Structure 1
Amino acid sequence: MTQVVIMSFVCFLCPGMFNALNAMGGAGQIDREASNNAHTGLYSTFIVFGVLGGAIVNLLGVRWTIFASGLTYSLYSSSFIYLNSTGNGAFTIATGPILGIGAGILWSAQGMIMMSYPMESQKGRYIAIFWVIFNLGGVIGGIVPFATNYHQGDNKSAVPLSDAGYIVFIVLEALGATSALFLAPPSRVIRDDGSHVVLIQYTSVGFEAKEILRLFRNRWMLLLVPMSLVSNFFYTYQYGPYNGSIFTLRTRGLNSMLYWASQMAAAYGISFLHDYRAISRRQRGMYSLVLLTILTNVMWGSTLVVQNRYTHGPLPNGESTDYPNGLIDFKESSRAAGPILLYCFMGGVDAVWQSYAYWIIGTMTNDSKMLARYAGFYKGVQSLGATVAWQLDAQSVPLMTQLIVNWVLMVLAIPFMFYVAANVKDTSEEIETLPANDWQTKYYANINEIL
């Protein structure tokens, strides 16, 4: 539990702050072009290093890989200070691919820790604990734009986030990276029942390369490709075309807080069903998916009602949104209540989707090295979808089209998820056999001991 909590705080201060910044739409900028293009670069490298991330973590350990990865989040946030002062988005766009490398490695390590460290009966709870702490970063991060721009009063003009706001993000993300140095090597971690997370065995470059290739022939991971592909696809629409288009900046910050707070509540709530031992794991998987299917369709149906009221948000030429009566401020309670509550609901559905994804992957095995690769594959495919989604917005694809694409992709993923859930076993005992006596094994054993 200690290791999961430490990892949660790393993600709370690194990806959590990144999420809070981007949940405002355009990372706090009026013009989303630089942010959208940075995200395209980010997820392009994330695709590769998501898949490779599990092997990298297995070979080099968790502490220094996560520390170095965490620093890339600070680099990304710092680029917006340069953008504010020069109007030149080149630096921001360049930091995107660098962050993609760091994020791929960090999330592979996170998935391995969260899915392999708990006992089978605790996986739902551990996922919920991680998701609550992680999304607390989004809640606190949302306070930054809300507080630093509260002085706008009732001014509805579109303004970017101030340098002071970005500096707060940079410092917090650097602290998150440093927190990774408190993690213990997986070989020293013992579960509540006294079992070791991993045996004292070390992998090799050649073995990891073979195992990565095997992922693309793994029946169950291939069936979960649609689920993985769409699992971050909807962020682009929710952050930009929705939150970034119809709300004032301070309200976007408030929305960000509420979005991540609802994620915390939803992740905590679904964990009880995932760990409910009175029914089989297969039944838990099926019931959770039925709930997720209902929530997904209610969310997009409600969003369609709002989207029918506008076609664009504030434009770089100074033109305001065509949403009736302009941008929504949270003080306009009669106008704001419905759209704000809908954004909260989006956050809750996201948490249920992500929790279910990790839970269903976690039912496949208890082996930490295998789960590191599974987590990396999940994040890599997820990033492929995100790359496409960010470019849809960057190319000014109509907002209604973006909404429909999101809805259709999520609905199409569900039958594949049902098939996997229907084949879940009540226990997973698969343990990987690693190569025993080659020179690479001994070499990386020394590297791991040093780290």
Structure 2
Amino acid sequence: MVQLNLPAFYTTPLTQVILVGITCFATVGMFSAVSNLGAGGSQDVILSDISQGVLYGMFALTGLISGGINNLLGPRLTLFIGTLGYALYVGALWCFQTQGTRWFLIFAGAVLGFTAALLWSAQGSIMMSYPLEKDKGKSFGIFWAIFQFGSFIGSVIALAINIRSGSLSAVSTSTYVAFIIIIFIGIASAFLVLPPNRVIRSDGTIVKLEAASKVHEEVIGMAHLLKDWRMIALLPMFFASNYFYAYQGAINAGMFDGPTRALNATLEGAGAIIGALLIGFFVLDSKWFGRRTRGYLGLAVVAAMTIIIWGVALSWQVTFDRADAKALLDAAKLINYKDENYKGKGALYFFYFFSDACYQALAYWIMSALTNDPFQLARFAGLYKAVQSAGAAGSFGMDAVATPYLNEHLASWILMLVSYPLAFLVIRTVKETNYDDEETVYVDDIKRAEAEKGHAPPAAEEKSSIDKASVKDAGESPAPLVSDA
């Protein structure tokens, strides 16, 4: 087997989380960015809702098995396959602009739903399992900020075009080409990610001895997952976590003109970046509290934001309905950011996505606090994205049939509020550490065991036979070399 010397910094969890963030920035982020620019300036909301509904429907179905696929293929190959759908979908947007191919956009949505489930299962496993327990909130914050920066850039571009021309009538071919080139860079970057048996934490532990799982292990693992009452209790939280996107997008499209929609999208991106970093570093990974207390504090912060922000939004929502939005469009009097009645609405969109980032962070943190096993966390991530996508598909379906705005608002708000007491029950089971209950393997133990045998460390699949009794309790400085998988 080929041995590969890697720099010590490259095998750290932080580097791997950053690499996954770059992959998602260049793929998911660019997908969001080009969507903000519009499918050639089209205002075909019905087509958008249909394609998004198909996308999230396929996402939900694939998410049930995507964690197992990741564990069988490994994160590198899973990420690579997962990125391909984003290139296809952006290409479909381009074709819709130039050729009007509606069917291709819907088909691309279905393909993207399948591949995105794979990408997010691999991403979730890496982000939740690679870091030390004390760094999992920071890990989310760093990843989410990098990933959301892609959407932020696209929004800034859309804002600049709108302010200059007053509208976004078309997206140029050169713009689409630029986005597709960036997406292909993201596809290539997936191969930079290391499997769990190559990653060494700062305390000298290896994330996992095995590089991949086996089919029968995944079948048993999924069966156990679906019988875990903690996962059942978290299902409402999973379901609600993307449900509000359809409502927020419908209000943005229905009530604001082009430049203001772009401004709102820019504020959304900024809110998501700031929210993720603040809750990750200063709440979920706070140095002043124990782990379970940090979970309670995170839940309290997110619940308080949900009540305040959505309560403020309700006070505005009761003042208009879909008929009012249509009248504004017909009269060409959509809200502009220079208008007096825009005051406060930009802040609302900023805090919508500030709180969204905090909500997502809390969901990931709870899952990552239940175990450190990357295979189990990949299954958790797959289930999370499956149920999340089912909720998103349902919400886009509601919007596609012109459900009253107020009903969409209340459905989104109530779903989140219902999820908090159940999340509290799960946080009550969080231990201060899982290291005492889980196998912990230090890279120095592997090297010592192999030195006693008189040969170099074998590949990951051969390492599993190492005597587990050699695992020690006190960490030492990690060596920068782990054998290639």
TM > 0.5 between the two?
yes
Query: Equivalent residue for 1:260?
Result: 269
1-side partners of 2:324 and 2:93: how far apart?
Answer: 19
Query: Equivalent residue for 1:97?
Result: 110
2-side partners of 1:2 and 1:82: how far apart?
Answer: 37
Aligned residue runs from structure 1 range 183-332, under 5 A: 183-200=193-210, 202-239=212-249, 241-271=250-280, 272-312=282-322, 321=328, 326-332=333-339
Residue 127 of structure 2 aligns with an amino acid whose one-letter code is M
Which of these two proteins has the greater Rg computed from alpha carbons? 2
Asked if 1:108 is matched to 2:121, the reply is yes
Residue 174 of structure 1 aligns with an amino acid whose one-letter code is F
1:408 to 386, 393, 414: 414
Asked if 1:33 is matched to 2:55, the reply is no
For the residue of structure 2 that corresponds to 1:14, the secondary structure is helix
Does structure 2 conserve the Cα–Cα contact (< 8 Å) formed by 1:74 and 1:170? yes
2:190 to 172, 180, 183: 180
Aligned residue runs from structure 1 range 125-204, under 5 A: 125-153=138-166, 159=169, 161=171, 163-200=173-210, 202-204=212-214
Residue-by-residue CA offset, 1:296-333 (whole Å, 9 max, x unaligned): 01121111222233323899xxx65369982222333x
1-side partners of 2:100 and 2:109: how far apart?
Answer: 17
Q: Relative to structure 1, is the Cα distance of residues 432 and 77 closer, same or farther in structure 2, using a 3 angstrom cutoff? A: farther
Does structure 2 conserve the Cα–Cα contact (< 8 Å) formed by 1:233 and 1:386? yes
For the residue of structure 2 that corresponds to 1:363, the secondary structure is helix
Does structure 2 conserve the Cα–Cα contact (< 8 Å) formed by 1:312 and 1:321? no
2-side partners of 1:27 and 1:423: how far apart?
Answer: 50
Q: Relative to structure 1, is the Cα distance of residues 119 and 126 closer, same or farther in structure 2, using a 3 angstrom cutoff? A: same
Residue 291 of structure 2 aligns with an amino acid whose one-letter code is R
Asked if 1:362 is matched to 2:372, the reply is no
Residue-by-residue CA offset, 1:126-153 (whole Å, 9 max, x unaligned): 1111111111111112123223333323
Does structure 2 conserve the Cα–Cα contact (< 8 Å) formed by 1:44 and 1:100? yes
Residue-by-residue CA offset, 1:405-425 (whole Å, 9 max, x unaligned): 111111111110111122221
Asked if 1:395 is matched to 2:401, the reply is yes
Q: Relative to structure 1, is the Cα distance of residues 400 and 314 closer, same or farther in structure 2, using a 3 angstrom cutoff? A: closer
Q: Relative to structure 1, is the Cα distance of residues 81 and 420 closer, same or farther in structure 2, using a 3 angstrom cutoff? A: same
1-side partners of 2:313 and 2:174: how far apart?
Answer: 33
Query: What TM-score does the superposition give when structure 1 sets the normalisation length?
Result: 0.89
1-side partners of 2:40 and 2:71: how far apart?
Answer: 33
1-side partners of 2:213 and 2:396: how far apart?
Answer: 36
1:45 to 58, 65, 70: 58
Residue-by-residue CA offset, 1:151-176 (whole Å, 9 max, x unaligned): 323x6xx8465555444433322221
Q: May I ask how many residue pairs the two structures share in their alignment?
A: 432
Does structure 2 conserve the Cα–Cα contact (< 8 Å) formed by 1:245 and 1:314? no
Question: What's the CA shift for 1:201?
Answer: 5.8
Residue 215 of structure 1 aligns with an amino acid whose one-letter code is L
Residue-by-residue CA offset, 1:252-278 (whole Å, 9 max, x unaligned): 222212211111111111121111232
Residue-by-residue CA offset, 1:201-240 (whole Å, 9 max, x unaligned): 642112212212222111111110000000011111112x
Question: What's the CA shift for 1:180?
Answer: 0.9
- Identity of paired residues, percent? 37
2-side partners of 1:3 and 1:33: how far apart?
Answer: 39
1-side partners of 2:33 and 2:375: how far apart?
Answer: 31
1-side partners of 2:408 and 2:170: how far apart?
Answer: 24
Does structure 2 conserve the Cα–Cα contact (< 8 Å) formed by 1:26 and 1:35? no
Q: Relative to structure 1, is the Cα distance of residues 118 and 180 closer, same or farther in structure 2, using a 3 angstrom cutoff? A: same
Does structure 1 conserve the Cα–Cα contact (< 8 Å) formed by 2:242 and 2:392? yes
Question: What's the CA shift for 1:450?
Answer: 9.7
1-side partners of 2:247 and 2:40: how far apart?
Answer: 13
Residue 256 of structure 2 aligns with an amino acid whose one-letter code is F
Asked if 1:71 is matched to 2:84, the reply is yes
2-side partners of 1:230 and 1:289: how far apart?
Answer: 15
Residue 295 of structure 2 aligns with an amino acid whose one-letter code is G
Residue-by-residue CA offset, 1:379-427 (whole Å, 9 max, x unaligned): 1111111110111111111111111111111111111011112222111
Q: Which runs of 5+ in 2 are unaligned?
A: 1-13, 441-459, 465-482
What's the Cα RMSD here?
2.7
1-side partners of 2:276 and 2:295: how far apart?
Answer: 15
1-side partners of 2:359 and 2:188: how far apart?
Answer: 30
Q: Relative to structure 1, is the Cα distance of residues 21 and 404 closer, same or farther in structure 2, using a 3 angstrom cutoff? A: farther
2-side partners of 1:231 and 1:223: how far apart?
Answer: 14
Query: What TM-score does the superposition give when structure 2 sets the normalisation length?
Result: 0.83
